[in-house]
Chain A
Amino acid sequence: MLTKLTGGIVYDPANGVNGKQQDIFIEDGRIIKKPSKDAKVDKEYKIKDKVVMAGAIDLHTHIGGGKGNIARMLMPENHRLDAVAHTDITRAGTGHAMPSTFTTGYRYAEMGYTAAFEPAVLPVNARQAHMEMADVPILDKGGYVMLGSDDYLLRMMTAKKDQQAINDYVAWTIRAAQGVGIKVVNAGGISAFKFNQRKLDLDEKNSHYDVSPREILKSLATAVKELGIKHPLHVHGSNLGIPGNIETTLNSIEGVEGLPMHLTHVQFHSYGTEGDFKFSSGAAQIAEAVNKNKNISLDVGQIMFGQTVTASGDNMRQYANHGFARPNKWVCMDIECDAGCGLLPFKYRDQNFVNALQWAIGLEIFLLVDDPWRIFLTTDHPNGAPFTSYPHLIRLLMDKSFRNDMLATLHPEAQKMTTLASIDREYSLEEIAILTRAGAAKITGLVNRGALGDGDWADITVYTENKDREKMFSKPDFVFKNGELVVKKGKIEKVTWGTTHVVRPDYDASVEKNLEKYFSRYMTMKMGNFKISDDELTEDGRGSITVHPTVGGKV
């Protein structure tokens, strides 16, 4: 079947196409060059002067794993306000801060997204996370496997095992948990919390294992580099949300010594201690450091005002913030000595000085980091705001006067503390396409995704040009997933099922010898059960696995 999209204005930064009118041909789910002359076009979409981009990719969004279910249980009142009825093709569910899996898939697709990555897959909970993501329709998905506070790694580091042994363990874990990257959350801090440490600075030792976050970051970043995993170490830094944590973040950048590192939800890690309220923006320093260090990439974790729920593996910081839970209920827990989990409902308020400044800091980071290939558009769903606020965020980035109008309504002291009003930058459509498509595909190591070139998968979004970018990006005309029309005029047209992206770096099989003993002695399951087989992801008949190459490795 040959499909033709005629006359669209194409933004495809991966192939250097910036707003050029050109036709796109789709055959068997992939984009092809011009077909031969006698080939018959089966279906033509006339999209003259409409904006065409690849399907958007969210590289950091909490859509799977146990914390989502805890958040759902914790906030029934949030679901009551947003009940979603079933239709002939879609299933019923609930929405807002932590939507049900099906609703998550539909709402992402209806905004033109075709892939989303769960950034906190605990290896011990990976099976549940994959099962849950298997219920997210349309989207491709993948997970970053969370290490850095797990007992086994910390024991290895205490015992001063060599880097090769750590590499093998990391590679084995990413294979066993079917991940596409490695994430570290408050390195060593989740573990330290259980030994009664209530904060852990970059050079402070975990009292039980005698290991510092800096050593863990360095070790894991090296492992990721040496294993050839394309997505840099995905780092949720130490001291989240503490005024003055800008120092920690800058030290972390310096601490990885040039190794690739992705700093996630940086907005929460960019706070200074200036001003009357001892809380100020560190965006300019972060942006300067990122502009200078080409090994660093980041996503912002923008906050938006309103009710949401914060869901994080960082139980140390979640516990410290539990007094701010609104409504007043929260959960913090250990998860089988592998990591932790903390959830607290949160309401960001525009007349609150701290919240208002957080909003401004996020936008400052967006606008001060020069290279769009190293910064990504996220709200750290649901921590900063539900993902459904992306179109609004895009408008804030693309429309200076709108941004300043919004700023003018915020807490007056916060307005004084930000340079946002003086920043003239407005994102172009090309830059938005980089942030949400080409760059995101590149940094997660996806092959043939986020691009519209010959041979790329036909994940395509078609928008009607509109000065109001929020309207434009919230309701695409068409969304194609693997060449199939899934969304028409912002409504689900067909429900398909995406693939699970993974990477499989090589490791020495003898790593299992010690692991098997360890699992038998300490864990709640045997090593054999810990490993997730491919069949588990595909045997339901709708899931599939896409293995992406490692640097220098074979698929």
Chain B
Amino acid sequence: MSALTFTLKQRTDQRVDMSPLVSQKMVDMELPEIGAIELQNGKSKVRVDQLFKISGSDAQNIVIENSFGKLDFIGRELGGGNIRVEGDVGAYLGMGMKSGTIEVTGNTDIYPACEMANGVLTINGNAGDFLAGALPGNRQGMKGGTVIVKGNVGDRAGDHMRRGVLLIEGNVGDYCGSRMVAGTIAVLGETGRYLGYAMNRGTLLLWNKPQLSVGFNDCGSHTLAFLPMLLASFKKFNSKFSEIDIFNRVQRYGGDVSAKGRGEILLKL
């Protein structure tokens, strides 16, 4: 069976809610039925076959071609299977995703991996603000799974993050790890200002010296036995993180004391 492929015919002026196009909702559908699904487009509704050329049949492997930055909610609450997106995507990529994989070749808008629960999400371009964050007002962001970003990330990465791993190959913006409950964020590039702002628990693993905020205290250099295991667990991903040298020596900074203060920033020595 070939992958179920949606090729965008032309770009819309208004944003499109793509949440119905996930494997678990289309698994028993014939192509005409899928074409008849209505998507919210701005304030009107539009049929899938008006927007996309549809081919293939395997709902477990979905490909979205010609994608652009107004396709929101791709892979929302994905329950399994793979989604590959060629091009940019809109906001809320993989929101609440439960399992499976999503790979995007381009960039994303805000809130990628928002409240994601499990699975692997790979962004080959840049990710927008609030990567792996919580919806406004909610208390917990990403709750599990792995997010790999090969480009740069906007502000507030890991806001309210609860569990899981963010692997960022590029730079991150300001407020990385803000209000973090727990989880791990690893950044190969540079970090912005207010790193770990109001962080409760969790780990920020860095390769470059950050600009520390006043809520963090130097706890000295350490040899941590868990680091080689953690780093080895990244080997399985298609990412620069699978090629890094294993190390166990880090400088540790604890904070943010303006919040619970049990978070840590680990800087490779």
Q: Please name all residues of chain B whose beta carbon is closer than 8 Å to the beta carbon of A329 when the two chains form the complex.
A: 139
Asked if B138 is at the interface (CB within 8 A of a chain A CB), the reply is yes
Within 8 A of A (CB), among B127-158: 135-139
In angstroms, how far is the closest chain A Cβ from the Cβ of B92? 12
Which B residue's beta carbon lies closest to that of A85? Answer: B43
Which bucket holds chain A's interface residue count? under 10
A76 near B139 with CB under 8 A, answer no
- Report Cα–Cα, A75/B138, bound state, in Å: 8
B137 near A328 with CB under 8 A, answer no
Which B residue's beta carbon lies closest to that of A75? Answer: B137
Within 8 A of B (CB), among A274-330: 327-329
Q: Which of A76, A327, A328 contacts B136 (CB 8 A)?
A: A76
In angstroms, how far is the closest chain A Cβ from the Cβ of B43? 9
Interface size on B, residues (CB 8 A): 5
- Report Cα–Cα, A460/B135, bound state, in Å: 43
B139 near A327 with CB under 8 A, answer yes
Which B residue's beta carbon lies closest to that of A329? Answer: B139
Asked if A80 is at the interface (CB within 8 A of a chain B CB), the reply is yes
- Report Cα–Cα, A80/B114, bound state, in Å: 15
Q: Please name all residues of chain B whose beta carbon is closer than 8 Å to the beta carbon of A328 when the two chains form the complex.
A: 139
Asked if A77 is at the interface (CB within 8 A of a chain B CB), the reply is yes
- Report Cα–Cα, A328/B138, bound state, in Å: 10
Give A321-347 as 1s and 0s: 1 = Cβ < 8 Å from B's Cβ atoms: 000000111000000000000000000
- Report Cα–Cα, A104/B137, bound state, in Å: 22
Which A residue's beta carbon lies closest to that of B136? Answer: A76
B137 near A74 with CB under 8 A, answer yes
Q: Please name all residues of chain A whose beta carbon is closer than 8 Å to the beta carbon of B135 when the two chains form the complex.
A: 76-77, 80
Q: Please name all residues of chain A whose beta carbon is closer than 8 Å to the beta carbon of B136 when the two chains form the complex.
A: 76
Q: Please name all residues of chain B whose beta carbon is closer than 8 Å to the beta carbon of A80 when the two chains form the complex.
A: 135
Q: Please name all residues of chain A whose beta carbon is closer than 8 Å to the beta carbon of B137 when the two chains form the complex.
A: 73-77
**Residue in B135, B136, B137, B138 whose Cβ sees the most chain A Cβ within 10 Å:** B137
- Report Cα–Cα, A80/B136, bound state, in Å: 11
- Report Cα–Cα, A140/B144, bound state, in Å: 50
- Report Cα–Cα, A73/B136, bound state, in Å: 10
Q: Please name all residues of chain B whose beta carbon is closer than 8 Å to the beta carbon of A73 when the two chains form the complex.
A: 137
Which B residue's beta carbon lies closest to that of A76? Answer: B137
- Report Cα–Cα, A75/B136, bound state, in Å: 10
- Report Cα–Cα, A327/B136, bound state, in Å: 14
Within 8 A of B (CB), among A51-86: 73-77, 80
Q: Please name all residues of chain A whose beta carbon is closer than 8 Å to the beta carbon of B138 when the two chains form the complex.
A: 76-77, 327
- Report Cα–Cα, A327/B134, bound state, in Å: 14
Q: Please name all residues of chain B whose beta carbon is closer than 8 Å to the beta carbon of A74 when the two chains form the complex.
A: 137
Which A residue's beta carbon lies closest to that of B134? Answer: A77
In angstroms, how far is the closest chain B Cβ from the Cβ of A468? 33
- Report Cα–Cα, A9/B139, bound state, in Å: 52
Binding site for A on B (CB under 8 A): 135-139
Binding site for B on A (CB under 8 A): 73-77, 80, 327-329
Q: List 7 A-B contacts (CB under 8 A).
A: A74-B137, A75-B137, A76-B138, A77-B137, A327-B138, A328-B139, A329-B139
Q: Which 3 A-B pairs have the closest CB atoms?
A: A76-B137, A77-B138, A76-B136
Q: A74-B137, A329-B139 are in contact. List 10 more A-B contacts (CB 8 A).
A: A73-B137, A75-B137, A76-B135, A76-B136, A76-B137, A76-B138, A77-B135, A77-B137, A327-B139, A328-B139
